[in-house]
Amino acid sequence: MVKLQVIVGSTRPHRVGKGVAEWVYEAAKERNDIEVELVDVADFDLPLLDEPMPPSLNQYTKEHTRQWAVKIDEADGYIFVTGEYNHSVPGALKNAIDFLYKEWNNKAAGFVSYGSNSGSRAVEHLRGIMGEIQIADVREQLLLSLMNDFENYHTFQPTEAHAQKLNTVIDQIVNWAEALKVVRRVPVGAEAR
């Protein structure tokens, strides 16, 4: 069974992303083809990247990094729930991603975003980041408008169309996550057959 993590990317007090992520998590729990977990970046209290060595060397010295690495390593794929901050990714999410490398490799990801422009620019930035950390990101994404999909710009009002789009995103993540399990089982440097 594929294990997905729904990652809450904003740590801002009173963030709308937490409510969106909880909806994504509850909807995903209804499926019988995945195991799903809600992971909140705020719970890990990560400082600005403070490891002395690049994450690609996998020589973590800080306990907060090791805990974050263990959590991220557990999943086969991710649903990043992100707001759009100044036409890009929330700093806390980018920082959390940058702490690790191998734990992200050869996994799959999809995106649920929100903002005045539905978070589309944050997702575009995340797609470039995903390539660098060797995550296969899926085509479909769920874009939410603060003006149209939230009551008073704060309370998410999901619709059946949102649920259908989310299921399409999850379907694509599951397909890629299953395929990439095979890639993760092949030892690095092993000859192709």
**What's this model's pTM, rounded to 2 decimal places?**
0.95
Cβ atoms 150, 16 nearer than 8 A: yes
pLDDT exceeds 60 at position 192: no
Phi, psi dihedral angles at 37 (to 5 degrees):
-140, 140
Over range 10-15, report the average pLDDT.
94
Cβ atoms 142, 161 nearer than 8 A: no
Task: Round to whole Å and give the CA distance between 119 and 111.
Answer: 10
pLDDT exceeds 60 at position 193: no
pLDDT value at residue 185: 84
Structure-block tokens of residue 124? 């575009």
How does pLDDT run across 14-70, given as a tens digit for each residue?
A: 999 999 999 999 999 999 999 999 999 999 999 999 999 999 999 999 999 999 999
Residues 6+ apart with CB under 8 A from 111: 79, 80, 81, 82, 119, 123, 126, 137, 141, 142, 169
pLDDT value at residue 55: 97
Over range 9-16, report the average pLDDT.
94
pLDDT value at residue 4: 98
Average pLDDT for the chain: 95
Over range 155-184, report the average pLDDT.
97
pLDDT value at residue 39: 98
pLDDT value at residue 92: 98
How does pLDDT run across 81-110, given as a tens digit for each residue?
A: 999 999 999 999 999 999 999 999 999 999
Q: CA 129 → CA 71, 132, 152, 159, 164, distances in Å? A: 19, 5, 32, 30, 26
pLDDT value at residue 186: 73
Over its C-alpha atoms, the chain yields an Rg (Å, rounded) of: 16
Structural domains of the chain ordered from first start: 2-185 (3.40.50.360)
Residues pairing with 35 in the sheet: 3
Cβ atoms 11, 42 nearer than 8 A: yes
How does pLDDT run across 119-159, given as a tens digit for each residue?
A: 999 999 999 999 999 999 999 999 999 999 999 999 999 99
